[in-house]
């Protein structure tokens, strides 16, 4: 008799454990394979669940899908078949399931409201869209009503109810006066969330305006205004009593009784509120009282969530964004003033619509393989799970012995071609539902190669290389590599085969050249491809350029001789100071050298020779020092030319020990520049033969030093001397000295563990060099294990610097250790490093994406955090893809180019800015890890409100004449809303004087204006801006052209009003007055005038006495003197002095020379002659001016 059977869940658990080690097939992205393989339908695009449409436009219900063969589409409406062909207004887009309902020929959109669902079908299955609830936007008119004036006593509370007409979606409420002025709100007067306007206490100034409730409807972009309320406030004091208005306690001064707070909303002492997980919780408390109460918020038993809580409406509202279960509890608001306090308690319950824990994914299997579909969701209440296949309940589908349902999981065993189907998982509770499609596809595909055939790979000797061989097949083929068509499978030793088919050769040798064949095999056949590998010699500079010192004007040659593979094209180029060298007329570049003629100071610097082929390159650097011209030497040593030191010689090794040796050398000639430093270099012949490395440096006064050594290195040393001119040539090498071996004293550094594929982890490290190997056969012991499981260590011995761990779970932490080992033993215990296996694309999209419009150019986003197990890697960022769908302005073309905004780290909110105002946008969000983007979230649509326009274009100011100025402009490039007009401000100015500003407003269609000038001299400055209902936009400023004489006018006006100019004029006037007074005094006293010498001023040619040298001093009144002027009445003005000779002789000091000439010193006369020499007129003569005053 059989024993008791175990319960079914035991079988399910056992099967799940078995399935956990299996893996599904990945379809390559190659389009040729994508188009050839059979594929059940997949929904790629659909409208939102609650689809509200504009009644003025045609209705569009989106449904797009892919599959092979291409799917066909049909719809249901209200769970009944919707016959598209019978309705002339309804059509379906070609190669798509999108419905278009056209109302151009009439019809009512309301007739098509209902619940729609799209079915995409081909011969392998049927996929379903969400149930799309179509509703037509409504903006009903406000009922007409006559409102009596509201009479209220000053200090009493007041509520003005809005009661807007029900719209779809709900309208945005705001309060304004009947003259469209916004109502100023503060903690005393504010609008509640329900749209009502609350006055905590009424003041007499509140009746200065009326109050009208306005409702703005989203889709129709209309604003409806309710008839305004008029307030009549009963008061004991008139409002214009300024003494009371400015009183520090205005309430008591005006006779208003002070009152303790009481709640206007909500009523009572307690209330409750239910909110859905992921949405915003808004709690509101509005209180009355005199003075106006202050509101404070608290949570019982804890603090408010500081990262999610913010206060709104002057602390009357508390908003908690993206609530979760921990936000449940009791909150209370406390209203207080100096008369007392009162509080209201709100009990908050958080429920949840279904949200994904693990969404089912498409399953691609080979015949005979096992797999599973998992549909795991959570919610409050706990959602129920319903499975469907091809759109029909699973219970009514034909039985399938290879399929077993275990709650939220469907298990498939030994799948066959007939098992292809599309499965739907519908999880729902009273708050919503989630619907997901996942197909099961069974592929039977023989192996095929995905890369080009017979590729040629060229690689440099001793390098590492990878030969790629991408392949595909179902079942997954096994891959083997062969060389030259014979021999065994290549794997191990110098070869390593990766899971993706690539063959890595760790160190290329000459014998590795040949033809490599990769063969992919499964039960349906095999496919092969060949790769030809050519090994090339490396490019090496065997004669490097050397450091040189040269005088200006000499010629320098830098050698650069190269050895390379003759089958590769060699290119030799030069750098100067690490920048490309320009080869000018003074330079000559040859294959093996660079010659510089006429060296100049600008040639000073480093020169790098780069020898390159298409596969590799080598470089060498030298330094050129240019000596300046020497001045006269101050001593014999300075007069001698300086040069680089000669090389050291006669190197000798003594005091040989296991870990040290003494090196002694004889210095070379310093060439008139003292040696400042010795550089000791070494070379070893095991790992890098022929390569010299710096070992240590010593002062120039030292010629013997003890060198520390590493174990198991065959050393050879050389020495380089350095002075201020440069470095010497290296000395001849010393004899070799090999140290004994030892176990490694340290382990390799920079150990990392990173995935290169979703199911592997590549462990890498920096290999140890020759001086740290400490012995032969240096190798590395690599250990790893899962961090969480604390399982036993896996280990492998590696000779390279990397190892790939395969078949790893997606992005799990591993503990990694890498230990050095040689033939003498192991190194110290290594440190443990944490690495991660490879990442896969995220499996989930952000949910409950909330879009809140901040202003006309920015929105805020909020979303639910995805579960860490769905990220499948390191969460880099949340990313929003958004695009401008259309403008709200008709006939305005917009670019629908997708843009993105990134939010780094595990954030739950962000801001998207630089949007275009007055536009319709769509937005999707994804999770991004190191592998890439995850699936896209549900598309969100939002509309940016009106903004201010950009500046008017092509603002032109013309001046056809001196009486008028003509202005012309074009409409703004970006209206950002409906233009309501233009504002023009202009001001006349003349120099520093500025006139009164004038303002003109124009209608949206006006683009021209003429200004009548007040005067022909002033200029005008014009500032023009466009405006919408939001306000004025960016302004553009222009000035009128300058009048012809404006520069002169400005200079005259500016100078005449300057303080320095006024002071200068006063100083000149004072100086002239002093000069006149001095001249008058001297004239009154009399003076002795010198007789003009003949040689100073010759007489006129008409003087008849010039020849005999006589001089006539007679007074001829009737004869004009030289330089005299004629007055306006024709008389002769007196220019010279009319004093007689007797007058000159007064005083007895006059004398005659031997030739009879008269001599004497008369300074007044001399000054007068100088004035005559300048031909001064009577008006400028100070003496005549004094006479005129007399």
Whether the predicted pLDDT of 637 surpasses 90: no
Provide the percentage of residues in the chain whose pLDDT is more than 70: 85
* CB-CB contact of 750 with 831 (8 Å): no
Per-residue confidence at 991, pLDDT binned at 50, 70, 90? confident
Which residue matches tokens 């009549």? Answer: 232
Q: Residue 310: what pLDDT?
A: 92
pLDDT of residue 1115: 42
pLDDT in tens, 650-706: 899 988 888 899 999 989 988 989 999 999 999 988 878 889 999 999 999 888 899
Measured CA to CA, the distance from residue 867 to residue 864 in angstroms comes to 9
Chain centre to alpha carbon of residue 505: 42
**Which CA distances in Å does 296 have to 192, 270, 637, 747, 1067?**
17, 16, 90, 62, 75
CA pair distance 364, 348, nearest whole angstrom: 46
Q: Please compute the mean of the pLDDT values over residues 219-231 and round it to a whole number.
A: 85
Q: Is 1110 exposed, middle or buried (0-12, 13-18, 19+ CB in 10 A)?
A: exposed
Q: Which tokens hold the place of 568?
A: 């590769």
Cβ atoms < 10 Å from Cβ of 612: 18
Contacts 24+ apart (CB under 8 A), 90-93: none
Q: Is 928 helix (H, G, I), strand (E, B) or coil?
A: strand
Could you read off the pLDDT of 900-931 as tens digits, one per residue? 999 998 889 999 999 999 999 999 999 999 88
Per-residue model confidence as pLDDT tens digits over 1007-1037: 999 998 888 788 889 999 999 988 898 999 9
The span from the CA of 564 to the CA of 541, in Å, is 9
Determine the Cα–Cα distance for residues 1037 and 986; give it in Å rounded to an integer. Answer: 9
Mean pLDDT score, 1109-1125? 40
CA-derived radius of gyration, the chain: 50
Beta strands of 147-266 (E only): which ranges?
150-153, 158-160, 172-176, 189-191, 197-199, 212-217, 222-225, 231-234, 259-265
How far is 931 from 758, CA to CA, in rounded Å?
9
Distance CA 1108, CA 1092 (A): 16
Angle at 941 between CA 937 and CA 944, to 5 degrees: 135
Residue 34 CA to its chain's centroid (Å): 36
Indicate if the pLDDT at residue 631 is higher than 50.
no
Helix, strand and coil content of the chain, in percent to the nearest 5, comes to 10, 45, 45
Half-sphere exposure of 1060 (CA within 13 A, CB side): 2
Number of other residues whose CB lies within 10 A of the CB of residue 256? 23
With 60 as the cut, is the pLDDT of residue 379 above it? Answer: yes
Digit-coded pLDDT (tens) for 307-337: 899 999 999 999 999 999 889 999 999 999 9
Say what the pLDDT of residue 112 is.
Answer: 92
Rounded Cα gap, residues 354 and 307, in angstroms: 25
Element (H, E) at 870: helix 868-871
Q: Answer whether residue 1129 shows pLDDT above 80.
A: no
Instruction: Tell me what pLDDT residue 487 has.
Output: 62
Instruction: Report residue 629's pLDDT band, with 50, 70 and 90 as the boundaries.
Output: low
Residue 387 has what pLDDT? Answer: 93
The pLDDT score that the predictor gives to residue 8 is 41
Question: What is the per-residue pLDDT for 993?
Answer: 85
Q: What average pLDDT does the structure give for the chain?
A: 83
pLDDT in tens, 391-404: 999 888 888 888 88
Q: What angle do CA 39, 41, 42 make, to 5 degrees?
A: 110
Evaluate if residue 1111 carries a pLDDT over 50: no
Size (the chain), residues = 1190
> For residue range 1158-1170, what is the model confidence (pLDDT) as tens digits?
334 333 333 444 4
Enter the DSSP assignment of 84.
G
Query: How many Cβ atoms sit within 10 Å of the Cβ of residue 500?
Result: 13
- The CA distance from 749 to 682, in Å, is 23
The model's pTM is 0.49
Distance CA 340, CA 282 (A): 26
Per-residue pLDDT tens over the stretch 439-461: 998 888 899 888 888 899 999 98
User: What is the secondary structure of 1078-1119 as a DSSP string?
Assistant: HHHHHHHH---PPPPPTTTSPPPTT-TTTTTT-------TTS
For residue 1098, what pLDDT band results from cuts at 50, 70 and 90?
A: very low
| In the block, residue with structure tokens 């409730």 | 213
Instruction: Give yes or no for residue 961 having a pLDDT over 90.
Output: no
Asked if 220 contacts 140 with a C-beta cutoff of 8 angstroms, the reply is no
Residue matched to tokens 């809005």: 162
pLDDT at 382: 92
**What's the average model confidence in pLDDT over 20-34?**
63
Tens-place pLDDT, residues 89-148: 999 998 899 999 998 878 888 899 999 999 999 999 999 999 999 999 888 888 777 788
Q: Please say if the pLDDT value at position 1135 is more than 50.
A: no
Q: What is the pLDDT of residue 42?
A: 93
Q: Is the pLDDT of residue 1174 over 90?
A: no
| pLDDT over 90 at 260, yes or no | yes
CA 761, distance to chain mean position in Å, is 33
Q: Are 373 and 16 in contact (CB under 8 A)?
A: no
């Amino acid at each position: 008799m059989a024993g008791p059977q175990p319960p079914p869940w035991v079988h399910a658990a056992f099967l799940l454990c078995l399935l956990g080690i299996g893996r599904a097939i990945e379809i390559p992205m190659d389009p040729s394979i994508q188009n050839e393989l059979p594929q059940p339908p997949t929904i790629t695009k659909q409208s939102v669940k609650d689809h509200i449409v504009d009644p003025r436009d045609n209705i569009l219900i989106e449904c797009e899908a892919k599959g092979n063969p291409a799917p066909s589409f049909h719809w249901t409406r209200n769970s009944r078949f919707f016959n598209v062909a019978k309705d002339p207004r309804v059509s379906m887009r070609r190669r798509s399931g999108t419905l278009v309902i056209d109302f151009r020929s009439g019809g009512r959109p309301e007739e098509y409201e209902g619940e729609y669902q799209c079915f995409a079908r081909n011969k392998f299955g049927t996929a379903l869209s969400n149930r799309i609830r179509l509703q037509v936007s409504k903006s009903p008119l406000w009922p007409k009503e006559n409102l009596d004036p509201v009479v209220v006593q000053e200090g009493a509370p007041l509520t003005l109810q809005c009661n807007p007409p029900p719209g779809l979606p709900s309208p945005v409420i705001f309060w304004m006066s009947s003259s469209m002025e916004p109502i100023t709100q503060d903690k005393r007067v504010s609008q509640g969330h329900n749209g009502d306007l609350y006055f905590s206490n009424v003041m007499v100034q509140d009746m200065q305006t009326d109050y009208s409730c306005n409702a703005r409807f989203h889709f129709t972009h209309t604003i409806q205004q309710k008839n305004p309320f008029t307030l009549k406030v009963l008061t004991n004091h008139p409002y214009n009593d300024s003494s009371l208005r400015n009183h520090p306690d205005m309430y008591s001064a005006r006779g208003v009784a002070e009152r303790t707070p009481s709640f206007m909303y909500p009523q009572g002492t307690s209330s409750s509120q239910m909110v859905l997980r992921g949405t915003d919780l808004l709690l509101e408390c509005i209180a009355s009282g005199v003075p106006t109460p202050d509101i404070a918020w608290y949570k019982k038993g804890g603090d408010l969530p500081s990262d999610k809580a913010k206060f709104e409406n002057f602390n009357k509202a508390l908003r908690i964004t993206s609530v979760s279960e921990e936000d449940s509890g009791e909150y209370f608001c406390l209203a207080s003033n100096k008369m007392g306090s009162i509080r209201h308690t709100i009990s908050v319950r958080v429920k949840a619509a279904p949200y994904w824990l693990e969404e089912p994914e498409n399953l691609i299997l080979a015949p005979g393989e096992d797999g599973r579909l998992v549909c795991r969701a959570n919610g409050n209440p706990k959602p129920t799970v319903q499975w469907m296949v091809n759109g029909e309940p699973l219970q009514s589908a034909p039985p399938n012995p290879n399929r077993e349902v275990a709650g939220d999981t469907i298990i498939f065993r030994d799948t066959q071609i007939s098992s292809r189907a599309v499965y739907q998982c519908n999880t729902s509770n009273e708050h919503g539902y989630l619907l997901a499609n996942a197909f099961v596809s069974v592929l039977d595909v023989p192996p095929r190669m995905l890369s080009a055939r017979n590729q040629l790979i060229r690689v440099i000797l001793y390098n590492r290389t990878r030969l790629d061989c991408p392949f595909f097949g179902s079942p997954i083929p096994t891959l083997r590599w062969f060389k030259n068509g014979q021999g065994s499978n290549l794997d191990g030793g110098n070869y390593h085969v990766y899971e993706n088919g690539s063959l890595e050769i760790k160190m290329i040798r000459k014998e590795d050249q040949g033809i490599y064949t990769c063969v992919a095999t499964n039960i349906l056949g095999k496919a092969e491809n060949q790769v030809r590998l050519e090994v090339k010699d490396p490019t090496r500079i065997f004669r490097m350029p050397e450091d040189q010192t040269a005088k200006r004007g000499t010629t320098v040659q830098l050698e650069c001789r190269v050895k390379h593979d003759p089958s590769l094209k060699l290119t030799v180029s030069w750098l100067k100071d690490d920048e490309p060298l320009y080869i000018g007329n003074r330079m000559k570049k040859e294959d093996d050298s660079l010659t510089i003629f006429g060296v100049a100071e600008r040639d000073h610097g480093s020169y790098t020779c780069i020898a390159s082929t298409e596969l590799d390159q080598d470089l060498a650097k030298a330094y050129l020092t240019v000596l300046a011209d020497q001045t006269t030497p101050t001593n014999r040593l300075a007069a001698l030319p300086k040069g680089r030191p000669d090389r050291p010689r006669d190197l000798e090794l003594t005091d040989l020990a296991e870990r040290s040796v003494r090196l002694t050398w004889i210095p070379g000639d310093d060439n008139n520049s003292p040696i400042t430093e010795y550089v000791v270099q070494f070379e070893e012949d095991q790992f890098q033969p022929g390569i010299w490395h710096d070992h240590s440096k010593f002062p120039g006064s030292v010629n013997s030093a003890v060198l520390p050594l590493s174990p198991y290195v065959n050393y050879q040393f050389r020495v380089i001397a350095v002075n201020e001119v440069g470095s010497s040539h290296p000395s001849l090498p010393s004899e070799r000295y090999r140290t004994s071996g030892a176990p490694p004293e340290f382990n390799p550094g920079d150990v990392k563990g990173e995935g290169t594929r979703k199911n592997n982890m590549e462990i890498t490290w920096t290999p140890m060099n020759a001086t740290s190997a400490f012995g032969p056969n240096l190798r590395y012991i690599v250990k790893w294990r899962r961090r969480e499981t604390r399982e036993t260590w896996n280990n492998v011995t590696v000779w390279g610097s990397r190892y790939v761990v395969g078949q790893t779970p997606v992005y799990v932490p591993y503990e990694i250790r890498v230990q050095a080992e040689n033939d003498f033993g192991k190194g110290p215990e290594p440190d443990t490093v944490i690495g991660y296996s490879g990442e896969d694309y995220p499996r989930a999209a952000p949910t409950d994406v909330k879009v809140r419009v901040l202003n006309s150019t920015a929105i805020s986003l909020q979303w639910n955090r995805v579960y860490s197990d769905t990220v499948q890697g390191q969460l880099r960022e949340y990313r929003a893809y958004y695009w401008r769908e259309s403008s709200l302005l008709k006939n305005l073309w917009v670019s629908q180019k997708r843009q993105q905004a990134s939010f780094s780290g595990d954030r739950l909110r962000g801001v998207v800015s630089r949007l275009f105002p007055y536009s319709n946008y769509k937005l999707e969000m994804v999770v991004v890890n190191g592998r890439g983007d995850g699936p896209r979230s549900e598309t969100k649509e939002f509309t940016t409100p009106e903004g201010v326009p950009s500046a008017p274009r092509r603002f032109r100011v013309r001046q056809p004449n001196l009486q008028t100025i003509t202005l012309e402009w074009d409409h703004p490039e970006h209206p950002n809303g409906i233009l309501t007009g233009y504002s023009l401000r202009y001001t006349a100015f003349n120099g520093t004087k500025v006139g009164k500003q004038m303002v003109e407003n124009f209608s949206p269609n006006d683009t021209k204006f003429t200004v009548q000038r007040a005067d022909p001299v002033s200029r005008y400055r014009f500032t023009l801006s466009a405006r919408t209902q939001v306000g004025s936009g960016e302004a553009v400023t222009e000035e009128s052209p300058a009048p012809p004489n404006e520069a002169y006018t400005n200079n005259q006006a500016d100078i005449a009003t300057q303080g320095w100019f006024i002071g200068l004029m006063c100083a000149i006037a004072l100086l002239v007055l002093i000069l006149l007074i001095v001249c008058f005094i001297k004239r009154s006293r009399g003076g002795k005038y010198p007789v003009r010498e003949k040689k100073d001023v010759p007489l006129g040619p008409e003087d008849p006495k010039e020849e005999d040298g006589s001089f006539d001093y007679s007074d001829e009144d009737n004869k004009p003197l030289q330089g005299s002027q004629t007055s306006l009445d024709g008389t002769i003005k007196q220019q010279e002095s009319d004093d007689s000779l007797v007058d000159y002789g007064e005083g007895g000091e006059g004398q005659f020379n031997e030739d009879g000439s008269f001599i004497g010193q008369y300074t007044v006369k001399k000054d007068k002659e100088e004035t005559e020499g300048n031909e001064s007129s009577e008006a400028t003569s100070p003496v005549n001016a004094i006479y005129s005053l007399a």
